[in-house]
Structure 1
Amino acid sequence: MLEASLSEASLSEESLSEASFSEASLSEASFSEASLSEASFSEASLSEASFSEASLSEASFSEASLSEASFSEASLSEASLSEASFSEASLSEASFSEASLSEASLSEASFREASLSEASFSEASFSEASLSEASFSEASLSEASFSEASLSEESLSEASLSEESLSEASLSEASLSEAPLSEASLSEASLSEALQ
């Protein structure tokens, strides 16, 4: 386990598969285009770090602090991100297929055009997040909260939405085909032009 401070370190394009950065301080570090499959960042401090275009399949970010981090165009398939904090992070065009983000804090994060298919977001918080054109196809969103989130033009086709809160969320032009909404809370939600 690496409990070192690597703030502002540049590890772009490096091959670091299976490396352990658990509990490390990596604020403002750059991992752009790095190969980090199965790497561990559990409980690491990664605020403002860059993982743009990085390969992070099966990596672990459980309980990591990722505020204002950038994951644009990164691949996080089957990654473990449970209880991680992504407040104000940029996740545009990232792929989270089959990733686990249960109880993650995603407040004010940007998921523009992100692929979140088959991912698990149980009890995750998307408050004030921007999810325009993101795809949640077949994702599990049980008890997730989308309070004041913007979900315009995203696809929730076949997503499991039982018991989640969409209060005050904007779902304009969203695709909700075959999405089960049993026990969902839609108080003050905007559903203008949503396709159901």
Structure 2
Amino acid sequence: MRFSLSLSLKFILSTVLIYPFSASCSPFYFGGSFGKNQVRETVSVSDLGYSSPSQPTLESSDTQDLAYSLYAGYSFDFSSYTLSAESGYMILGKSSTISESKNVTSQNGDKENVRVSADTDALTLSLVALKKIKGDFRAFTRIGAGAWETSSRLSTNIEQESNQASFSNSGIDPYWGLGIEYKFLRIGFDRYDFDNYKTDYMYFGFKF
């Protein structure tokens, strides 16, 4: 589920250019966003399928990276609020965790260093509720689920020998979000709870 950053930026730029010609009365909409993704990660090496006599433990880490998304939806307008069904594709950037084993097992007294880096993307489906605040300002909240996939690389270094392994993991987990819209602008925050880590996506985007 990999996507091109340059292609996504071209998509967002094109939507800005065609906005004056779009049909605002249509219940269908689409858009894109970009922003900062903050990952709080708690990784167990044994959960990754890696075994070692030193039993290295990866502590929680806190990393940040660029993230972006594309989405489309269908709106149902009521008298005082709007409900939308929205689907999207997200690239949540890269996270990394580094740890040193607490137990020393080598004859030279070396400790084992472990590094895990991961790239995550997701397909999402959510229900969005919008409420008009004042003028063209609207507040929204969402709840949904994301089908995510993580491609990870594990590197170890013990007794001056390095080893590497690649693996992937996937699942479906819930997420929620909230934000504010002004005309075709959208500013929001999403919280994802994917397996071994939580990620916060703070973004700025466009909706047409």
TM-score (norm 2): 0.19
After TM superposition, the score normalised by the length of structure 1 is: 0.20
Which is richer in helix? 2
Higher strand share: 2
**Greater relative contact order structure (CA < 8 Å, 6+ sep):** 2
